[in-house]
Structure 1
Amino acid sequence: MSFHKEHELHTRRKGRNIGLGLTLVALICIVFGLTVVKVTRGDFEPPRGQVEGN
Protein backbone atom coordinates (compact mmCIF):
# COMPACT_ATOMS: atom_id res chain seq x y z
CA MET A 1 0.00 0.00 0.00
CA SER A 2 1.44 3.37 -0.96
CA PHE A 3 0.42 6.76 0.29
CA HIS A 4 0.20 9.50 -2.29
CA LYS A 5 1.03 13.13 -1.69
CA GLU A 6 -1.98 15.35 -1.05
CA HIS A 7 -2.78 17.70 -3.92
CA GLU A 8 -2.02 21.40 -3.39
CA LEU A 9 -5.70 22.31 -3.80
CA HIS A 10 -6.69 20.07 -0.87
CA THR A 11 -4.00 21.64 1.29
CA ARG A 12 -5.35 25.13 0.58
CA ARG A 13 -8.93 24.01 1.24
CA LYS A 14 -7.92 22.43 4.54
CA GLY A 15 -6.24 25.66 5.62
CA ARG A 16 -9.28 27.70 4.63
CA ASN A 17 -11.63 25.31 6.45
CA ILE A 18 -9.55 25.47 9.63
CA GLY A 19 -9.53 29.28 9.47
CA LEU A 20 -13.28 29.41 8.95
CA GLY A 21 -13.86 26.94 11.78
CA LEU A 22 -11.73 28.99 14.19
CA THR A 23 -13.59 32.15 13.15
CA LEU A 24 -16.95 30.50 13.82
CA VAL A 25 -15.79 29.21 17.21
CA ALA A 26 -14.58 32.70 18.14
CA LEU A 27 -17.93 34.23 17.14
CA ILE A 28 -19.83 31.64 19.17
CA CYS A 29 -17.60 32.32 22.20
CA ILE A 30 -18.20 36.09 21.92
CA VAL A 31 -21.98 35.66 21.70
CA PHE A 32 -22.00 33.18 24.58
CA GLY A 33 -19.83 35.48 26.69
CA LEU A 34 -22.08 38.47 26.05
CA THR A 35 -25.14 36.38 26.93
CA VAL A 36 -23.58 35.23 30.21
CA VAL A 37 -22.69 38.81 31.14
CA LYS A 38 -26.20 40.10 30.37
CA VAL A 39 -27.86 37.31 32.36
CA THR A 40 -25.60 37.71 35.40
CA ARG A 41 -26.10 41.50 35.43
CA GLY A 42 -29.87 41.03 35.48
CA ASP A 43 -30.66 42.88 32.24
CA PHE A 44 -33.37 40.34 31.38
CA GLU A 45 -35.45 40.96 34.50
CA PRO A 46 -38.53 43.17 34.10
CA PRO A 47 -38.65 46.32 36.23
CA ARG A 48 -39.96 45.50 39.71
CA GLY A 49 -42.97 47.82 39.54
CA GLN A 50 -44.34 46.28 36.33
CA VAL A 51 -44.62 42.63 37.36
CA GLU A 52 -48.21 41.41 37.03
CA GLY A 53 -49.65 39.48 39.95
CA ASN A 54 -52.49 36.97 39.51
Structure 2
Amino acid sequence: MQRKPDLLWILVILFGLGIVTTGYAQGLWSAKADAPVEITQQQQQQPTRR
Protein backbone atom coordinates (compact mmCIF):
# COMPACT_ATOMS: atom_id res chain seq x y z
CA MET A 1 0.00 0.00 0.00
CA GLN A 2 1.48 3.30 -1.11
CA ARG A 3 1.12 6.40 1.03
CA LYS A 4 -0.70 9.35 -0.52
CA PRO A 5 1.38 12.52 -0.95
CA ASP A 6 0.79 15.04 1.78
CA LEU A 7 -1.29 18.09 0.98
CA LEU A 8 1.68 20.24 2.02
CA TRP A 9 3.90 18.73 -0.70
CA ILE A 10 1.18 19.21 -3.30
CA LEU A 11 0.92 22.88 -2.31
CA VAL A 12 4.71 23.27 -2.40
CA ILE A 13 4.86 21.81 -5.91
CA LEU A 14 2.00 23.99 -7.15
CA PHE A 15 3.60 27.08 -5.61
CA GLY A 16 6.93 26.25 -7.25
CA LEU A 17 5.27 25.77 -10.62
CA GLY A 18 3.53 29.12 -10.19
CA ILE A 19 6.85 30.84 -9.51
CA VAL A 20 8.49 29.22 -12.53
CA THR A 21 5.54 30.08 -14.78
CA THR A 22 5.46 33.68 -13.56
CA GLY A 23 9.20 34.08 -14.16
CA TYR A 24 8.86 32.65 -17.66
CA ALA A 25 5.92 34.93 -18.48
CA GLN A 26 7.77 38.00 -17.17
CA GLY A 27 10.76 37.05 -19.30
CA LEU A 28 8.58 36.89 -22.39
CA TRP A 29 6.85 40.14 -21.42
CA SER A 30 10.13 42.04 -21.00
CA ALA A 31 11.46 40.66 -24.30
CA LYS A 32 8.28 41.83 -26.01
CA ALA A 33 8.54 45.27 -24.34
CA ASP A 34 11.70 45.99 -26.35
CA ALA A 35 9.68 45.83 -29.57
CA PRO A 36 8.01 49.02 -30.81
CA VAL A 37 4.51 49.41 -29.44
CA GLU A 38 1.69 51.15 -31.26
CA ILE A 39 -0.75 52.81 -28.91
CA THR A 40 -4.23 53.49 -30.16
CA GLN A 41 -6.75 55.50 -28.23
CA GLN A 42 -10.47 55.03 -28.51
CA GLN A 43 -12.66 58.06 -28.23
CA GLN A 44 -15.63 57.77 -25.92
CA GLN A 45 -18.82 59.47 -26.91
CA GLN A 46 -20.22 61.77 -24.28
CA PRO A 47 -23.94 61.47 -23.66
CA THR A 48 -25.82 64.57 -24.74
CA ARG A 49 -27.61 66.47 -22.01
CA ARG A 50 -30.88 68.27 -22.55
TM-score relative to the length of structure 2: 0.59
Greater relative contact order (Cα < 8 A, sep 6+): 1
Runs of 4+ in 1 over 3 A off after TM superposition: none
Structure richer in helix, relative to its length: 1
Percent identical: 14
Aligned length: 36
Q: Structure 2: which 5+ residue stretches go unaligned? A: 37-50
Alignment gaps of 5+ in structure 1: 39-54
CA root-mean-square deviation: 1.5
TM-score (norm 1): 0.55
